């Protein structure tokens, strides 16, 4: 079994210590962050999701697997944000009210940091009022909202409405993402952009920056 397979299995078998040790070994061998993410962490977490859906795993197992994944992401973060990239705009990000999923949000944040953006992370279960307050205080170029549940994605329009009510809607581009979302949903709620994954999220802000400022 390769080390990448061992890491994937450590996530699936809910072994945080093994996951961290294996990641250290992979990094020492010079394996790239993209391979660690795409060949081990994301497929591992997908399998955990499948086991959960089929009733083989319960919330506690999924929670420990998520802790293992977040700890491992922290180890590879320096690789994702290394290099001499130009400083770019500011992005406020948070997971929408009622939703506690943060792995995807953290990954998207890391990739944006790697592309030169300053990130203000509001965490999970963020109310519309908190999003509005952060936009008022931080004056970001983008507000990114993550949702992982079909129920909580329906709370995103309330954030956009709260921005409108506060007179801040035209000051910030609203971007949305998360597994149950789609481009048609983003269009329907009046968001300025949708990204399917972390790589797409980087392309999205670079495309909007280019359209808006030419840089």
Could you list the residues that contact ligand B1M (CB under 6 A)? 42, 45-46, 48-49, 52-53, 59, 62-63, 66, 98-105, 107-108, 144, 146, 148-150, 175-180, 195, 197-198, 201
Identity of the residue, 43 or 171, whose beta carbon is nearer to ligand B1M in the bound complex:
43
Element (H, E) at 190: none
Nearest to 144 by CA among 106, 184, 98: 106
Q: Rank residues 29 and 143 by Cβ distance to ligand B1M and give the closer one.
A: 143
Least distance (Å) between residue 161 CB and ligand B1M: 18
Q: Report the number of secondary-structure helices (H) and strands (E) in the chain.
A: 10, 5
Q: How far is CA 136 from CA 4, 89, 125, 192, in A?
A: 43, 16, 19, 18
Question: Which residue's CB is nearer to ligand B1M, number 5 or number 125?
Answer: 125
Beta bridge partners of 143: 92, 174
Give 19 or 29: the residue with its C-beta nearer to ligand B1M.
19
Q: Which is nearer to ligand B1M, 32 or 98 (CB)?
A: 98
> Least distance to ligand B1M from the beta carbon of 13, Å?
14
What is the DSSP secondary-structure string of 115-172? TT-EEEE--SSB-HHHHHHHHHHH--SEEEEE--STTGGGGHHHHHHHHHHTT-GGGS
Q: How far is the CB of 66 from ligand B1M (least distance, A)?
A: 3
Complex with ligand B1M: residue 28 or 104, whichever CB lies closer: 104
CA distances, 33 to each of 63, 79, 134, 148 (Å):
23, 6, 31, 24
Q: How far is the CB of 151 from ligand B1M (least distance, A)?
A: 6
Question: Please, what is the minimum distance in Å from the beta carbon of residue 52 to ligand B1M?
Answer: 5
Smallest CA-to-CA distance from 94 within 177, 157, 163, 164 is with: 177
Q: Distance (Å, rounded) from C-alpha 10 to C-alpha 19?
A: 5
CB of 204 to ligand B1M, least distance (A): 7
């Amino acid at each position: 079994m390769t080390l990448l397979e061992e890491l994937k299995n450590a996530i699936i078998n809910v072994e945080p210590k093994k996951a961290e040790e294996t990641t250290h070994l992979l990094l020492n061998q010079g394996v790239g962050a993209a391979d660690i993410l795409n060949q081990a962490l994301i497929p591992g977490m997908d399998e955990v999701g499948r086991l959960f859906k089929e009733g083989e795993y319960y919330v506690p197992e999924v929670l420990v697997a998520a802790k293992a994944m977040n700890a491992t992401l922290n180890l590879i973060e320096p690789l994702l944000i290394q290099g001499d990239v130009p400083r770019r705009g500011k992005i406020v990000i948070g997971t929408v009210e009622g939703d506690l999923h943060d792995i995807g949000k953290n990954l998207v944040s890391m990739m944006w940091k790697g592309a030169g953006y300053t990130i203000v992370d509001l965490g999970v279960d963020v109310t519309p009022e908190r999003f509005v307050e952060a936009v008022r205080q931080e004056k970001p170029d983008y507000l990114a909202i993550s949702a992982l549940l079909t129920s909580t994605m329906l709370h995103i329009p309330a954030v956009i409405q709260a921005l409108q009510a506060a007179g801040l809607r035209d000051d910030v581009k609203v971007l949305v993402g998360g597994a149950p979302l789609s481009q048609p949903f983003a269009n329907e709620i009046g968001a300025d952009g949708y990204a399917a994954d972390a790589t797409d999220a980087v392309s999205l802000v670079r495309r909007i920056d280019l359209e808006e400022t030419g840089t």
